Structure 1
């Protein structure tokens, strides 16, 4: 009887020890697996290299079927695997392989310790982050590519961000400065399932004002000055498509979509005077644009706000010291970081 009891005790003890060892091994595996990337930003994603700007920014080559090439996107991953994304759209003065949000602005430093991902596409000068009707020709040579920015930002990039950075395609905010202010509103209007919140800073967000003739003229000047591209390739000369393309890009015409889509809309313009830590660009033409341009932008922003509120959209109108420069835009993002984190953090 004792031998039988001893054998039973040995078997029970042996099995218990084996189970404990197995549980420890499994726990060790699961504990160790994510530890190397616990903060979500210490490793390079596919197609990415570390960007020279620092702040954990990665320069990522993202394949775009619409463009039939890789598109460069600067991405600052969330600190701890957060699934919210903040898209940041540039003004017209941006290099083909650069993002001023990544290189000039203070936004990466502002959000460096926050659990959201910054998404900063490179290039796009004078293209308004839109799908163009045709190949973008310029006055120097024939264009080789049809810009398809909306397709890339709304349909192609989200899948990459979800797979490699964990960004939820339906949990994003978007902000744009100058040229990028209009598409920040139009993209969120046409894709409210993607963008919960939009910030339009220092942009002619009621570009039509009294007539779309002014809108076309303004867009044309901006496009020619900063990219040399003829804008008619965006809107096309096809009389059947032209009106629809104009309205597609007009934030006022899309107010009802912003309203019905539940987009939280914020707009800002400066008072044309230097704010704290701000200086004039330093040469006459740039000084004039930074002062008088922001004055006209304020009129456009007020017009958009009035028209949008008349249609039932609760626009958050922000106003403060600032020229048409990056210093006030950086201050704005720091001041309104809480709004962004409330929406997607």
Structure 2
């Protein structure tokens, strides 16, 4: 009788244990969805879907809220992937969130995507003065590097669990240079950088060409003159030019141990991809990417000469979002290796 009683008790314990294990496994998907499925302070659901939140993050340096689109990790992973836009982006938009396949590609991965909105023609830099040209929309002095490197990480750590020292960064077109700049000057924050379709050796001949190219991009897309960014003071302007020059920063990338990846296209559509559809855009997407390939090759050669290990990637693609989204899918393994 006593033996039977012990056996029944043992059976009950075993059943309880099995039930607990079963509940744990059933709860796991819910726990994963929960990390993406609740809104953080200052955030609302973004219309792009894919669990993206549109978050207003206060920036003392910019004296305003900065809009950042954020896709939380699936299960509380502490790695962050910053994504910087090209020059043609709306003040309240991120083309990474709106036009790229990247959020869908990473939606079930255990890293957080960080997509700042706006910044057209501002190169994600700290400016010397407000953008006050006759074409500008207001006397706002952009302070992007301070925001991205010193202010945003605290918000991300507190509300999304992102480790300030476990991040990668990628930038397309205009965003390629600041991606390399941020990684070079903040290697403790960014372990890996991807510069995609960017004119990343802007001073191939001299810095005169760099100044001219940046001036055109800034005037067209931010309505400001380059001296608003680099200063009228020749010494300060020179220092700012070097601060943003990827070749000049190659040693910092090397010494900081940053894993560097660069890509450009061959100026032809990849499989299933297409031309933009109008003569002007087609010309830019073709010839722009051809010049970018020359610049990327020049950067790669000069940086390697300084001892920086550069992962040079090249393939089919125009200067459009189609190959950039494909690149982010093809190199998901590299990114998850660095921060996943």
SS in 2 for 1:198: strand
Verify: 1:64 aligned to 2:88, yes or no.
no
Q: Map 1:192-341 onto structure 2 (within 5 A).
A: 192-341=187-336
Verify: 1:165 aligned to 2:164, yes or no.
no
Shift of 1:225: 1.3
Shift of 1:227: 1.8
- Distance (whole Å) between structure 2 residues aligned to residue 276 and residue 189 of structure 1: 34
1:257-283 deviations in Å (ceiling 9; x for gaps): 000000000000000001112111111
Structure 1 residue ranges, 4+ long, deviating more than 4 angstroms after superposition: 33-38
Q: Map 1:70-219 onto structure 2 (within 5 A).
A: 70-141=65-136, 143-219=138-214
1:94-146 deviations in Å (ceiling 9; x for gaps): 00000000000000001010000000000000000000000012333573111
Shift of 1:38: 4.5
SS in 2 for 1:293: helix
- Distance (whole Å) between structure 2 residues aligned to residue 37 and residue 176 of structure 1: 31
| TM-score normalised by L of structure 2 | 0.90
SS in 1 for 2:83: strand
Deviates more, 1:137-146 or 1:179-188: 137-146
- Distance (whole Å) between structure 1 residues aligned to residue 32 and residue 303 of structure 2: 43
Aligned length: 315
Tell me if the contact between 2:136 and 2:222 (Cα under 8 Å) persists in the aligned partners.
no
- 141 and 292 in structure 1: CA distance in 2 versus 1, 3 angstrom threshold: closer
Tell me if the contact between 1:104 and 1:326 (Cα under 8 Å) persists in the aligned partners.
yes
Tell me if the contact between 2:135 and 2:224 (Cα under 8 Å) persists in the aligned partners.
no
Runs of 5+ unmatched residues, structure 1: 1-26
Tell me if the contact between 2:136 and 2:223 (Cα under 8 Å) persists in the aligned partners.
no
Tell me if the contact between 2:131 and 2:223 (Cα under 8 Å) persists in the aligned partners.
no
Shift of 1:37: 5.1
- 134 and 42 in structure 1: CA distance in 2 versus 1, 3 angstrom threshold: same
- 139 and 42 in structure 1: CA distance in 2 versus 1, 3 angstrom threshold: same
- Distance (whole Å) between structure 2 residues aligned to residue 141 and residue 53 of structure 1: 29
Shift of 1:226: 1.4
Structure number with bigger Rg: 1
1:30-50 deviations in Å (ceiling 9; x for gaps): x9x999754411100000000
